Each structure stands twice: as structure tokens, then as C-alpha cells.
Amino acid sequence: MSTRGINVTLIDPLEDPFHNSFSSAAIPFSAFSDYSIPPNCVSKEWNSWQLIDNKSTRFRWRNDHPLGMILDFGLLRKEMWAKAKSSGVEILNGWKVCSVRSFDRYAIAELLDPLKKRIYRQFTWIVDATGHSRSLLRLNEKKLSDNNDFLLKGSGLEFHIHNSYNLEDWANSLSFLIGTNWIPNGYGWVFPMNNNILKVGICRLDPPFYVKKRKPLNYYLKNLIKALNFDQCPVIDRHGGIIGSTLKRSEPHFDGRVIGVGDSVSTANLLGGEGIRFALLSAEMLSRYLIKACLLDSPTIKMETKLLRNYQNALKQELGWRWVLSSRIARKTWLGLNNDNADDRITRLLSTLHKKVSAEDISALLFDYRFERYGFRIVPYLLGWR
């Protein structure tokens, strides 16, 4: 937008882009070119899938060319901030937006500067890009469920470890560990980075009801690290985060002069815990509609509301029915993964897929949600009906 002569300010409490670089940042190959990701943010390409069941049986699918990449998430943040700055965006690192009051033609944002001083600034539009916290749209869990939708929320914990002795088991693969011995209601992962670093993580969905005495994520991650013989490896970084989306994405995408983008409007997909390319997609789409709104000759609230509604509808259409189906499958799979039957079902599914499909097909299933590629026969398995 700044390249179109519109004044843009980016505000983020983070001072250092590498601080809490929580995302494992695995993306499919297509996302790299579709969203012009800076090439130096790619830490490693991957060309195979490795899915490990509850009894540690490894199912592997190899491809002869890369299927995707693992990004350095901190570097991605750094590069995107630098790109924004060079195109004229004002960057306020170390600042936080505390609240927003919308008026007919403008909004007043209450900011906290790095010295914790309150400052009020006027903007025409405010974009809520605060991720799962949806701090500015103030869509809390209650409001989201009042909307007759369901918030699917999970938390993840990841260590970066330095490992140089059994690298070939993990290099070039996206590895997922699925089963209640690894973690109930979730999964573990091992992704390679450059310089012999592995991202080793664990995440799980929160059940929709209160569960007593859930062991902490740290417990499962330490067990996983031990089981994979990584316990002697130095840990270089520890971080964690939350990922959450509504099942139907039916929440309002704007409120007054605040408009949501990325995780704040549920673009993250919970099947594989993936959200970077959808956040970028929504940002690209929103910028098209916001440019139109900013360049209107004599704007009225009606005209602006129509543009923002069009943004919400266009984004819904772009993500499509597959996105919604995959969320349902995610809910069924991860929330149902809490007993021996579910473990057996996962093993049967992996074994069937291993016999029948290629590495590219697994990518099409887990990244493009192309369930019909094997016929819809697979869907009942995924949904746990068989």
C-alpha cells in the first residue's frame, strides 16, 4: 500500500525479529513463489514425508524433487519488516497497540511506546494483524462461539537442537509423530534446518471441555526428545505459541475501522498447524480492498462497508470448501486421538496411504486438502467413521 502513496505504520511490541520465533514455518513449494518469500529465508528444502505412528513404525514417502521448504521464521519477520521499511512504511518496534476507538471517518489508537508512555494517534484504518490474540478486533472465545461457530485452538512448544550424528534420519523430510504415546490430542514433529539444526516440537488441541490433570507440553516434548535419542543434543532455542481458528470462519472480519488479517480472522489451518501462506494470502487480498477504500473520492460508510464485506467474501471463496472440510477433519482427528482405537485407526490409515499413494499425493492431501484425489473414500477414514 505504501508503494501506492498511502501512509502506513507498522506497530509491533517485538524489538527483535528473532525473539520467540515460534513458528516451525514449513511451507509447500508453491507458497514460495506465490507469496514472493525472500529466498534467504529458506533454511532447508524438503522432499519427503515421514509419518511415525504410536508404535514408532516409520512410513516414508520420497520424491525426487523438493516438495517444500522450512523457513527461518525470525529471518522471515526481519526481511518483511526491512521490505516494508524500504517501501516507505513507518516501523514502530517495541510499541504496542493497547486499544482502538472507531469514529465515522477515523480511528484513535492508544499506543504504548517502548518507555511505557501512552500516546494517542489517529489513523484512517487499523489492521488487526495480532495473530491468534485478535487483540484489536477483541473477538474473544465467548464472542466467537456466540457466533454459532467453534474455536479450534491448540498450543505448541518447539526446541531448536543441534544434532550431527543421526541427521540422515531427519534431513530432507517433514516428520510427524502421531499417537497417544507421543501426545494425546496432537502430534510431534521434527523438521530440519541448515547447520545441522532440527526443529523438534509438540502441539495439541484444547478439548472443548475442561480436562483435569493434563500433563504439560514440556513433559511430552522431553519424552519425545529422549525417545528419538536427541537428549544429548544441545538446545539452542526454546519457544512456543498458540494457533487457533474457528471451524467455519464465520466471525466478522471488521468492526468499525478495524479490519482483521491472518490468524486474527482464522486463516490458520489446524489439520497440519499451518498458517503462514494463508496469512500472506489474506494480507495480499486485504491490501487490494484497502487501497480501493483509501482512494475513494468521497467515501461513505456504506461504500466502505461494502468493500470490507467484499474482502471477507473473497477470502472465504479463495480458501474454499476444502479449507472448511480440512478443519472438520482436524477437529475429529486431533480431538479424537485419545485412545487405543484412535491409535490403531491412524496406523491403518498410514499403512493404506503408504501402499497406495506417492509423496506428492501426501502433499496434495495435507497442504492442498485434495481429499478427492483418492476418491472421497479417504474422508470417512479421516473423520473416524470407519
Choosing from 262, 266, 286, 342, the residue that interacts with ligand FAD (CB under 6 A) is 262
Identify the three-state secondary structure at position 276.
Answer: helix
Among 28, 68, 74, 156, binds ligand FAD (CB under 6 A): 156
Rounded CA-CA distance 182/363 in Å is 23
| By the rule CB under 6 A, 177 interacts with ligand FAD | no
Residue of 21, 22, 193, 290 that binds ligand FAD (CB under 6 A): 22
Residue 69: strand pairing partners: 27, 45
Residue 206 binding ligand FAD, by CB under 6 A: no
Q: Tell me if 27 contacts ligand FAD by CB under 6 A.
A: yes
Q: Determine, following the binding rule CB under 6 A, whether residue 274 of this chain makes contact with ligand FAD.
A: yes
Concatenate the DSSP letters of all residues of 310-322 into one string: HHHHHHHHHHHHH
The β-bridge partners of 58 are 52
Of the residues 1, 25, 183, 221, which one makes contact with ligand FAD according to CB under 6 A: 25
Furthest-apart CA atoms within the chain: distance in Å: 66
Is residue 152 within 8 A of residue 141, CB to CB? The reply is: no
**Residue 5 CB neighbour total at 10 angstroms:** 10
Residue 11 within binding range of ligand FAD, rule CB under 6 A = yes
Is residue 185 a contact residue for ligand FAD (CB under 6 A)?
Answer: no
Q: Does 131 bind ligand FAD (CB under 6 A)?
A: yes
Among residues 23, 173, 326, 327, the one that binds ligand FAD under rule CB under 6 A: 23
110 binds ligand FAD (CB under 6 A): no
Q: Angle at CA 14, nearest 5°, toward 11 and 19?
A: 155
Q: Per CB under 6 A, does 243 bind ligand FAD? A: yes
- For residue 203, what is its C-alpha cell? 502441539
**Residue 37 contacts residue 70 (beta carbons within 8 Å):** no
Query: Applying CB under 6 A, which of residues 1, 26, 197, 364 lies at the interface with ligand FAD?
Result: 26
Closest separation between CB of residue 11 and ligand FAD, Å? 5
Q: Who contacts 123 (Cβ-Cβ below 8 Å, separation ≥6)?
A: 9, 106, 107, 109, 257
Among 241, 251, 266, 343, binds ligand FAD (CB under 6 A): 241
> Which residue's beta carbon is nearest to the bound ligand FAD?
275
The yes or no reply on residue 184 touching ligand FAD (CB under 6 A) is no
Q: Determine, following the binding rule CB under 6 A, whether residue 263 of this chain makes contact with ligand FAD.
A: yes
Calpha distance 333→24 (Å, rounded) = 21
Stretch that binds ligand FAD, among 18-26, 310-318, 349-357, 373-381 (CB under 6 A): 18-26
Span from 11-19, 247-255, 287-295, 357-365 in contact with ligand FAD (CB under 6 A): 11-19
For ligand FAD, the binding residue among 2, 6, 9, 14 (CB under 6 A) is 14
Question: What span, in angstroms and rounded, lies between the C-alpha atoms of 141 and 233?
Answer: 39
Contact 203, 187 (CB under 8 A): yes
**Single-letter residue type at 84:** A
CA distances from 284 to 74, 174, 304 (A): 21, 27, 18
349 part of the interface to ligand FAD, by CB under 6 A: no
| Type of residue numbered 351 | S
Closest distance of CB 46 from ligand FAD, Å: 11
Residue of 336, 348, 329 whose CA lies nearest to 57: 348
Closest among 17, 170, 150, 161 to 84, alpha carbons compared: 17
Q: Is 96 in the site for ligand FAD (CB under 6 A)?
A: yes
Does residue 268 interact with ligand FAD by CB under 6 A? Answer: yes
Interaction site with ligand FAD (CB under 6 A): 11-14, 22-27, 96-97, 129-131, 133, 135, 156, 158, 201, 203, 241-243, 262-263, 268, 273-276, 279
